[in-house]
Chains A and B, each alone.
Chain A
Amino acid sequence: MSELLKVDNINVYYGSIHAIRNVSFHVDEGEIVTLIGANGAGKSTTLNCIAGLLKSDTGDIVFNGESLSKIPGFKIVNKGLSLVPEGRRIFLQMTVEENLQMGAFSNPENEQAGLERVFDLFPRLKERRSQVAGTLSGGEQQMLAMGRALMSKPKLMMLDEPSMGLSPILVDQIFEIIKNLNDTGTTILLVEQNAAAALDIADRAYVMETSRIVMEGKASELKESNQIQKAYLGQ
Chain B
Amino acid sequence: MTVFIRTLISGLNLGSIYALIALGYSMVYGIARMLNFAHGDIIMVGAYSGIVAVMSIGLPPIVGILLGVIVCALLGITIERLAYKPLRQAPSLSILITAIGVSYLLQNLALIIFGPEQKAYPMFSGVKSFQILGAKIDGITILTLAVTACIMIGLNLFINKTKIGKAMRAVSEDKGAAELMGISTDRTITVTFAIGSALAAIASAFYGATYVYILPTTGSMPGIKAFTAAVFGGIGSIPGAMLGGIVLGLIEQFAKQYISTLWSNAIVFGVLIIVLLVKPTGLMGKTIQEKV
Contacts and interface: CB of A to CB of B under 8 A. Distances in A.
B176 A85 contact: yes
A147 to B, nearest CB: 13
Given A137-B291, A138-B291, A138-B292, A91 B169 contact: yes
B288 A74 contact: no
B185 interface: yes
Interface string B177-196: 11111111100000000000
A122 interface: no
Interface residues of A, number: 36
Contacts of B173: 91-94
B181 A77 contact: yes
Interface residues of B, number: 23
Among B176, B177, B288, B290: residue with most chain A CB under 10 A? B177
Given A74-B184, A141-B291, A94 B179 contact: no
Contacts of B182: 74-75, 77-78, 105-107, 152
A53 B286 CA distance: 27
A56 to B, nearest CB: 16
Contact of B288 (A73, A92, A138): A92
A83 B163 CA distance: 21
A82 B291 contact: no
A106 B173 CA distance: 18
A90 interface: yes
Nearest to A136: B291
B283 to A, nearest CB: 17
A53 B178 CA distance: 10
Contact of B181 (A72, A106, A137, A165): A106
Contacts of A134: 288-291
A77 B163 contact: no
A102 interface: yes
A148 interface: yes
Given A105-B163, A134-B288, A141-B291, A93 B180 contact: no
A136 B180 CA distance: 21
A89 interface: yes
Among B170, B174, B180, B182: residue with most chain A CB under 10 A? B180
B174 A105 contact: no
B25 to A, nearest CB: 19
Contacts of A136: 291
Nearest to A73: B179
A136 B174 CA distance: 18
Interface string A79-97: 0001101010111111000
Nearest to A140: B291
Contacts of A98: 166, 169
A93 B288 contact: yes
Interface of B: 163, 166-167, 169-170, 173-174, 176-185, 286, 288-292
Which 4 pairs across A and B sit closest by C-beta, in order of nearness? A106-B182, A89-B177, A134-B288, A77-B182
